[in-house]
Structure 1
């Protein structure tokens, strides 16, 4: 059960309305995560600022962004984000089986995505610490130092949303992500 009410654009605090409307337009509807964040204008504005910076300045394609989001969402056991990013990853061209493999940490279909997902997973699980082996493997897979630094920003916005969903008890309003399995 949600701890924080999910607002509509009309019921959100005045300071949240324009931001919520813009996010809702971009997403095609108002998602419960954003509707909950709108309860506090600073929470929604922080999310919008972080994700806006990634959209404006980021270099990753949609498959890479969604791979990072799925890896981090799984690492943090965020049911909502795994479901949301499964939908987005499929729209970006990944199959459902590939989204499951990414979440499970068994990416055998793309070595370059596997390397960046491992860096993201380590950032999320080790308070930002990444092993030299993972860093070197990502460089060898073709990621630049700039892209590895950018990965940190992607992980940060995903940690923000994962933790918000845990904190707020965001109710799922998207198709549920399939189970990872054994």
Structure 2
């Protein structure tokens, strides 16, 4: 199931339940058959724009509410159980734990750097800031002509509007968690 079908499936279920409606009631109010609604909610149907239009009109909701990523009240990510977003054998692994989505202004990464390893990151654009905490080892970050050593348990903040470098100059693996804030999106 593609992400859009997944969004519609999850959102329709949540909206219907929030309104306290059965599939029969939604069918009656929208003019879409109960079987089609059930297939949409299961994610086995690929509804046309016309069907989605009937649903939004009948339920008196904005079209965007059906297609937006569903609200997630909780989410647990175990990076080691997922495929790294970026990887250079013997150097580093990067996992995108929580990517930017729609109106969200924060992105979360986990970065592991092997002894002697180095990870070069490009600029994240204007008005971007990184908050980084080291969970294992000692990390050196170079950005804005400044070099900062960050020890386990410390938290470091810097502007990421230009390329920057993460280095492990030690003999043990370094692990850190990075929170990127895009404050161009903050109103």
- Which TM class, normalised by the smaller chain length? under 0.3
Structure of higher RCO (CA pairs closer than 8 Å, 6+ residues apart): 1
Instruction: Please state which structure has a larger fraction of its residues in helix.
Output: 1
- TM-score, normalised to structure 1, is 0.21
- TM-score, normalised to structure 2, is 0.21
Instruction: Please state which structure has a larger fraction of its residues in strand.
Output: 2
